[in-house]
Amino acid sequence: MSLIVQNNFQGAAFFNSTNRFTGSMFSTFDDIDTYFHLKKANTELVEENALLRNLLESSYIIEGPTYELYSKDSLYSYIGAKVISNSVNKRKNYLMLDKGSKHGIKKEMGVVSPTGVVGTVIGVSENYSTVMSVLHINNKVSARISKNRHIGSITWNGKNYREGLLTDIPTHVNLFKGDTIITSGNSYVFPEGIVIGTVNEYLSEPGDKFNTAITGFSVDYNNLFYVYVIINLKKEEQGQLDAIINNEE
């Protein structure tokens, strides 16, 4: 091999052949990687369709190049987007999506994945949007205990990205490991019934007015590929009514 490389003509041929081989090899690896990502994406879409059919009696319709999902009887529509950057190892974590204002996305829209709540849109450009992740120490999601419909809040303490803390639970409410926590619907951001996680441990202190529970997130935030941005179709109308109430106060 040394003699071949030392010869100028044969050396050039050798390196050209090597480049073709390595280029072909990397191309093959890229094709394989793309294939498995596509398989994962298709699986998520199937799971999402099943979830939507379970949540609503009416069927959702796919329309247009933005993959907008909507129901005629729904308060919400959903726009599919790809996650192009994401973090889970900071105290304040964000995502960036490949959809922006020209696709109908605005600030304060909720973001979900096929397996649960992801975060809230906080910044929008023409083609991209920034999302405050559930894994952000300043984020708080209005939550509900699925089995008894009691209200609480989900926060994150900046440590384990697979666990959050359910707070503001009345002391008379009993929780057990495995109980499901969902969105409450008491906001303009998320519809009621989207899964947040399940209880891992119930924390009760004598004398406290409210208890807490360590909750395992249903979403693996380190493995997000496609998400859905939620558009509240009646947000303006709801906001007008809230304004009347606030003015009376």
For 248, the enclosing helix (H) or strand (E) is: helix 235-248
- 25 in the same domain as 7: yes
**Opening angle at CA 88, ends 82 and 89, nearest 5:** 150
Rounded Cα gap, residues 99 and 123, in angstroms = 11
Share of the chain above pLDDT 70, in %: 68
92 and 213 housed in the same domain: no
Same domain, 179 and 70: no
Looking at residue 187, what is its pLDDT? 83
Residues 6+ apart with CB under 8 A from 94: 86, 87, 119, 122, 130, 131, 132, 133, 136
Q: Is residue 248 part of a domain?
A: no
pLDDT digits (tens, 9 = 90+) for 121-139: 999 999 999 999 999 999 9
Does 246 map to a domain?
A: no
Q: How far is residue 47's CA from residue 41's CA, in Å, rounded to a whole number?
A: 10
Does any domain span residue 229? yes
- Has residue 15 got a pLDDT over 80? no
Q: Which of 52, 69, 89 is the last residue of a domain?
A: 52
Distance CA(169)–CA(150), nearest Å, equals 8
Q: Which residues contact 37 (CB under 8 A, 6 or more apart)?
A: 225
- At residue 59's C-alpha, the angle toward residues 66 and 121, to 5°, is 40
User: Are 41 and 101 contained in the same domain?
Assistant: no
Res 58 pLDDT > 50: no
pLDDT at 28 over 60: no
Least confident of 77-81, 112-116, 150-154: 77-81
| Confidence check: pLDDT of 175 > 70 | yes
**Confidence (pLDDT) at 214:** 96
Q: Which of 54-68, 81-95, 122-136, 183-197 has the lowest mean pLDDT?
A: 54-68
Domain match, 213 and 227 both: no
Considering the domain boundaries, does residue 247 fall inside one? no
Q: What is the mean pLDDT of the chain?
A: 78
- Nearest Cα neighbor of 97 from 64, 119, 117 is 119
**φ/ψ of residue 77, rounded to 5:** -125, 160
pLDDT at 224 over 60: yes
Phi/psi for 10 (5° steps) reads -70, -35
Q: Is the domain of 121 the same as that of 97? A: yes
pLDDT exceeds 50 at position 22: no
Range of the domain at 206: 141-217
Flag whether pLDDT at 208 surpasses 50: yes
Q: Is 26 within the bounds of a domain?
A: yes
User: Higher confidence at residue 214 or residue 33?
Assistant: 214
> pLDDT tens digit string along 141-162?
999 999 999 999 999 989 999 9
Query: Over 70: is that where the pLDDT of 9 sits?
Result: no
Q: Is the pLDDT of residue 219 over 70?
A: yes
* Structural domain count, the chain: 3
Instruction: Could you list the beta-strand ranges (E) of 101-140.
Output: 110-113, 116-124, 129-136
Q: Are 62 and 52 in contact (CB under 8 A)?
A: no
pLDDT range class, residue 24, cuts 50, 70, 90: low
| CATH code of residue 165 | 2.40.10.350
Give residue 5's pLDDT.
41
Residue 23: is its pLDDT beyond 80? no
Q: Is residue 44 part of a domain?
A: yes
Kindly state whether residue 211 falls inside one of the protein's structural domains: yes
Q: Residue 110 sits in a domain of what CATH number?
A: 2.40.10.340
Lowest mean pLDDT among 37-46, 115-124, 208-217: 37-46
Hunting for tokens 């990687």 — which residue is that?
33
Assess contact for 106 and 113: CB atoms under 8 A: no
> Considering the domain boundaries, does residue 240 fall inside one?
no
Question: Are both 72 and 179 inside the same structural domain?
Answer: no
HSE (side-chain half, CA atoms, 13 Å) at 150? 18
Beta strands at 141-145 and 180-183: parallel, antiparallel or unpaired: antiparallel
Res 40: pLDDT? 62
Residues 128 and 23 in one domain: no
